[in-house]
Structure formats: structure tokens, C-alpha cells
Amino acid sequence: MNNNSSTAGNDALAGMSLAAVAAKIRDGSVTSVQLTQACLTRIRIYSPKLDAFITVMTERALAQAAQLDAEASAGRFRGPLHGVPIALKDNIDTAGTRTTAASALFEDRVPTEDAPVTARLIAAGAVIIGKTNLHEFAMGAGEASFWGPTRNPWNLALNPGGSSSGSGAAVAADLCYGALGTDTAGSIRHPAAYCSTVGLKATFGLVPIRGIAPLTVCLDHCGPLTRTVEDTAIMLNTLAGYDRLDFTSVDHPKEDYVAALSQPVAGFKLGVPVGYDSWDPEIAAAVNEATDLLAGMTQGTQQVTLPSTNDFTIATLGYAGETYAWHKDYFHNAPGKYTLANRRRLQASSEAEGAAVDYIRAKWGLDLLRRSIDDAFGTADLLVLATMRQMPPVINEMLERIRNPKPANPRQFSNCAPFNAFGLPALSLPCGFSKSGLPISLMIVGKRFAEGKVLALGQAYEKATQWHTRKPPLTPQTVKPAVMEI
């Protein structure tokens, strides 16, 4: 086989869905070592262009793969993830492998214990191939990392979404078959939308967040980014479950989310939330077209009015309370270890440290909101709306705003954050492309613990379209543009 044929074969293998390669491992037509080597080959070529990984766990991943192949040869399969390479956002602890949260503060930090989500993936047979880049401590949209910002695989000059920027880029660029991200105001769904992958933030408390560097605990979620809705359901089956040592964890009865994909969607009633429109005309057109298609597959759409979440934001609950509480000692001892944008945020939080009463009142309001939010759906089963309100910004323009701060734009660039406050399951999936070839995504939201319905509608839409099959225009010759230093 010539080199071009070998490269094409490797790329084809790395570009398959998680479900497809899992089936190949099960029938013996491919090995975990082959899958891992295929991903590692693409990581060597494309991660330096994307800055998608902070740590690539080459030796450990190959050793894991070899062990899992031995188990498969003996007829022992741990489940659908057996032998499949998965990446983890680098704020998620991995025992014996550094976990940095993309900060100089944790440059050499090596945890001694796996986060529960890490342990669950390993127990299920996933090969942990590496730790992905992110916005430092998940405090932004992906532009600020000690290791430099991750690039968007559809255009390397653009932001890939954040804070789980490396996870979104790695999945979209076929560097792994799935990845974990975290989501406090949209940080799984932003990169899913901008990189054209599937991303799920489940109901608050369904997936444990212990062992993950927090941003705002009462808004934090952990979840998968994948290439298809089925792949997301497979990963959620492993990730979901009670952790008694995680005070955010909810003891919810075990569900089979893969089985839930087969439920009919024709009886679903859809809601379109008022005030969640996109202000980019290309996004609006694509999402309207997707909504019309979904309306024809279900009982149609109706307008829904959701309660305000203005009192329950990262600024209210996070920087004014939970975020600073976690960082206080680190920031006091080594403020220079933080990137410029985060130094400013934490400094402002330190000056408002006495605002405990405001935080407590906001937290009481958040708890009440989550108890009653399902009522706002009315007769609707699910909500459909745009994930993002604007196309990906230029990285250098984002960095320039850090260097020379300006008043914030009052228009929200995303529709994601309210659903962190509501604690509802929210799925982002591809629904089109702009004229310039940039991804556009749709968000499907369910009531508390309605992940099965969310995923079923997502897969029904995915099967009726082909948006998820497009690949970024990356080649080994793609030039990586420079970004400014701050």
C-alpha cells in the first residue's frame, strides 16, 4: 500500500462515528490499537495547527488499547466504549497525568485520583487518549489559555467556541471519537455549535462534577461532545449516575438513553421560546428551516415564554461567590499565574468579597426556579431554538478586547446560559452552514431528566439531514495564522 492510500485509510478510520468503530471492535474487524494509532497519527499532524491538546497520553493510551484488545480476544467486552479513544477536557482529573485547567498555576499539577467521570469511562473500556485545551479555568469563550487559544477547524483564524474549545475541535477534526467538556454558561454547546459536532449538557446533577476544577458549582455541568446523537447517547449511558460524594449529584433512576433513541417523535409538541432569536440572518434562516422540518415531523410548534434568568448568571453566582471562593487562596498567593482576563475578573471579585447576602439570596432564587421551570413549557414537550446568535469571532479580535477592554456588548452572543440556570437538558447539533462555510447549530431543550426525548428528536432530525456528515477543510498543508500575545 502506498503512503497516500495508507493516509486515506487512516483518515477514514479516524473519521468514523463512535458507534461504528465500537461495532467493528465487537466483530473483530478492527482493534483498539489500530483506532488509537489512527487518532494519534492525526493528533501529530493536526493538533499543532489547532492547539487542541495540552497533553497527549500516547504511551498510556497504547497500553490501555493493548490490554483492551487482549480482553476482546478473550471474549470479554466492557460495553460499547470498549477500546474507543476518548479525550478529556483538561480541567477533569486523571490520576497520574497532569491536569492543568489551561493555567500556569497548575502547569505541573498531577492528580492522584480520577474524577468519577474519568473512572466511569475507563471502567467502560474507553481509551483516554489525551487532555484537551480550554479557556483557563473555563472562565471564558476559549481565547485565553496558558498554551495558546484553540483554533476553529473550519477556519483557523476563528474561535472554536469555549470554554471546551479543544474538545470541540478534536472531535470535529477526527482526533478522537468523543470528548468530555464542561458547561457553566454554554461551554459544551458553544464549541459543538462552532465546530459542527453534537454536544449535550444533561440535567443538572445527572452527571457528577466531582474531580473537575469548578467555575460556578451551582451552574456547572459535564457532558459529551461527539459526531452523532447516537454517540452522545452511548457516552451518556456511562457518564450518568449518582455520586454520593458530589453534593450536586442527583439520585435519578438509571435510564438507557440508547434505547430511548427509538421512541417515536410524531407525538411530541414543540415550543419556540420567545426572545431567543438569533441576530445573525444566516443563523436565523438555517434554524427556521430546521424548525419547520421538525414541526412537520411532530405535532408542530407553539410559542413559549420562559422566566428571566438575569439574577442567576456567572456574574451573580460565580464571580461574586462560588468562583472566587474556590480560587481565593490560589489568587492571593500567585495572581501572576493567571491570564490577564482572569486576573481582572478575580481581582474584581476579591473587592466584592463581602457580597455574601446577595449570593445567598440569588442561590435561593435559583433553587426555586429549578423546581418550577417545567411549568413554563405549558403543553410543549421540548423547546427548539438556535444555539448561538452570531458566527464565530476572529481570535485576534477577542484577544484585542482583552488587551484593550471595552464596554460589553449588551446583546448576548449565545442562547445557552439560561438553561444552565434552569438546569435543563440541552443538546446542540448541526443544522446548516453559512455561505462562507461556517457551521450553524440547533438546540433542543427538554424538561428535567427528559434526556431521552431530547436525544430522540435530535436523532430524528439528524437522520433527516446530512449536516453532521460534513468535514472541516483541514489538510496537512493548512497554514496556521499567528495570534497576538497578551
Helix (H) or strand (E) holding 69: helix 58-73
pLDDT band at 352 (very low <50, low <70, confident <90, very high): low
Q: What is the pLDDT of residue 3?
A: 62
CATH code given to domain 3-265+384-469? 3.90.1300.10
Tell me whether residue 435 is exposed, middle or buried, using C-beta atoms within 10 angstroms of its C-beta: 0 to 12, 13 to 18, 19 or more.
Answer: exposed
Give me the percent of the chain exceeding a pLDDT of 70: 97
Q: What is the pLDDT of residue 1?
A: 45
| Across 422-442, average pLDDT | 98
Across the chain, mean pLDDT equals 95
Catalytic site positions: 89, 163, 187
49 close to 478: Cβ distance less than 8 angstroms: yes
2-6, 42-46, 232-236, 319-323: least confidently modelled range = 2-6
pLDDT beyond 80 at 410:
no
More confident residue, 486 or 450: 450
266 close to 236: Cβ distance less than 8 angstroms: no
pLDDT band at 38 (very low <50, low <70, confident <90, very high): very high
Domain ranges of the chain: 3-265+384-469
Q: What CA–CA distance (Å, rounded) separates 149 from 37? A: 26
| Across 308-330, average pLDDT | 85
pTM of the model: 0.96
Strands 270-273, 382-386: pairing is: parallel
144 close to 111: Cβ distance less than 8 angstroms: no
Coil, helix or strand at residue 31: coil
Q: What CA–CA distance (Å, rounded) separates 228 from 225? A: 9
Q: What is the pLDDT of residue 49?
A: 98
| Across 45-55, average pLDDT | 98
Q: What is the pLDDT of residue 253?
A: 97
Give me the percent of the chain exceeding a pLDDT of 90: 87
Q: What is the pLDDT of residue 290?
A: 98
pLDDT beyond 50 at 300:
yes
- 219: cell is 451552574
pLDDT beyond 80 at 357:
no
- 446: cell is 427538554
94, β-bridge pairs:
97
How many of the other CB atoms lie within 10 Å of CB of 108? Answer: 8
pLDDT beyond 50 at 172:
yes
More confident residue, 5 or 370: 370
| Across 326-330, average pLDDT | 93
Q: What angle is formed at CA 165 by the lines to CA 163 and CA 168, rounded to 5 degrees? A: 125
Helix (H) or strand (E) holding 297: helix 281-297
Q: Is the dihedral of CA 471, 475, 479, 482 positive or negative?
A: positive
| Across 148-171, average pLDDT | 98
Residues 340-351: tens digit of each pLDDT: 989 998 888 877
53-62, 254-263, 361-370, 439-448: least confidently modelled range = 361-370
Q: What is the pLDDT of residue 278?
A: 83
Q: Is the dihedral of CA 177, 181, 183, 186 positive or negative?
A: negative
CA 471 to chain centre: 18
In the 8-state DSSP scheme, what is residue 482?
A: -
The reply to whether omega before 434 is within 30° of 0 (cis) is no
Helix (H) or strand (E) holding 223: strand 221-226
Q: What CA–CA distance (Å, rounded) separates 46 from 37? A: 14
Grid coordinates 471474549 are at which residue? 75
Dump strand ranges (E) for 64-219. Answer: 85-89, 127-132, 179-183, 198-201
Q: What is the pLDDT of residue 2?
A: 57
